[in-house]
Amino acid sequence: MEPILIPSLANRLVIPTDPSEDEFNYCSSGITIDSYEIISTIGSGSYGSVYLVREKSNGNVYALKKIYYVDVHDSELVKKRAIRERDAMIVCNKAKNSRAPKLHRAFIDKDECVFYYVMDYIGGGDFNSYCYKRLCEQKPFTMDEIKFYMAELVICIETFHHLGLIHRDVKPENIMINEEGHLILCDYGSSKQLFNNYSTHNGFLSVSSSAPGHGGSFGSFGSGSFGSSGGSFGSGSFGSGGFSNTPPNFTSFLRNPSSSYTSYIGTPQYMAVEVVQGTNYSKLCDYWSLGAILFELCTGQALFVESPDTTEQKIRENIGNWRGLLNTAISKNQSIPKVVETLIRDLIAPERKRIDSMGIRKHPFFEGINWEDVSNHRNTPPFKPTLNSSTDTTYFRN
């Protein structure tokens, strides 16, 4: 199959009904599931599982993500998500993006109707589990900790946008903690590719010759791609660099959110109001999600979820009534500093008024932050995972 070029932002990725091995496979010549020894299961969901594995030929340890694409609800959507995730990870690979998963191999087993991804194992677990542990231990985040993690997330999202991608499912479960304690944005099954400066290996996008980026090597295995409903650690309450090498043709996208889409995708409680309502949305939808996460870090409560029994329909209704709900939530949490409240309100806002990465960087909450240090992992994380070996799974909970 010839590569399908994307001449404009209006064009959508063309997905075959049943992709061939050549169309899906990436760096996987001679590789099958039998090439790996399964050490343990580290995640599972409606559409598949994630395993800690060892490659038999070289002894390297990886995370292996397994996605079934038949005999599941909406199998065509599962295929599209699987290919979308593969394509986004390859874009990040080419850019040597240090805030994104490192994809080593991708291959398809047509007999078993399974997609496989082989990625670096990130032993620190997901950010949601870490936040939940802090909540259970009644250890609220300090403002310095919140500032650190929010700055890291800003860089994660900024970097993703810089590569011409909208994530569309930014949430704590899709954020990993690497061995040094830095945050990695993962799980790209919901992502949207906006232009073709980067490309996939051999299937669906044209190949580009070069790409700027940052060094680094890692991977991820977020739960969202398996069809988990998503959730919040906030069932209770705490109470309490820039891109100097940005190419010229990226500039208008970084500054102008007008490239818009209308598809409904993501985890409901973190969805921007324009996504829930089915109106045009842009990369700024990822910053609404950032605001929802900021509120949770400050309070231990999910902004749009009243209880564990809150239905998806009710969450969507709450987001549609976000103004009143946000005012009520802020008034009930008087411990939120005014400077944090203003940032939350700048993010949980109508798209036309929502601040972008430049506005976020300049916000008083981030006063004193050296963004170049954040971008280059030079800031010391407040938490560093303690791992006893390359196969330690301590930080993964059921």
Dihedral (Cα; 276, 281, 287, 292), 10-degree rounding: -10
283 is in an annotated binding site: no
Q: Give 3-state DSSP helix, strand, coil % of the chain, rounded to 5.
A: 35, 15, 50
Tokens matching residue 279: 């109106």
Of 305, 190, 289, 171, nearest to 236 by C-alpha is: 305
| Diameter of the chain measured on Cα atoms | 60
- Do residues 199 and 205 lie in contact, with contact meaning Cβ atoms separated by under 8 Å? yes
- C-alpha span between 299 and 34 (Å, rounded): 46
Task: Give the chain's radius of gyration (CA, Å).
Answer: 20
DSSP string, 123-154: TT-BHHHHHHHHHHTT-PPPHHHHHHHHHHHH
- Given a contact cutoff of 8 angstroms between Cβ atoms, the answer to whether 48 and 67 are in contact is yes
Angle between helices 322-332 and 338-347 (to 10 degrees): 170
- Which residue has tokens 């985890």? 267
3-state secondary structure 175-195: EEECCCCCEEECCCCCCEECC
Yes or no: say if 101 and 167 are a contact pair by the CB < 8 Å rule.
no
Active site residue 356: no
**Options 169, 187, 286, 356, the catalytic residue:** 169
What are the phi and psi torsion angles at 129 (to 5°)?
-65, -40
Helix (H, G, I), strand (E, B) or coil at 258: coil
Range list of H helices, the chain: 21-24, 75-94, 127-136, 143-162, 248-255, 273-276, 285-299, 312-320, 322-332, 338-347, 357-361, 371-375
Tokens describing residue 253:
């996208």
Residues placed in the known binding site for ATP = 65
Residues placed in the known binding site = 65
The residues carrying an active-site annotation are 169
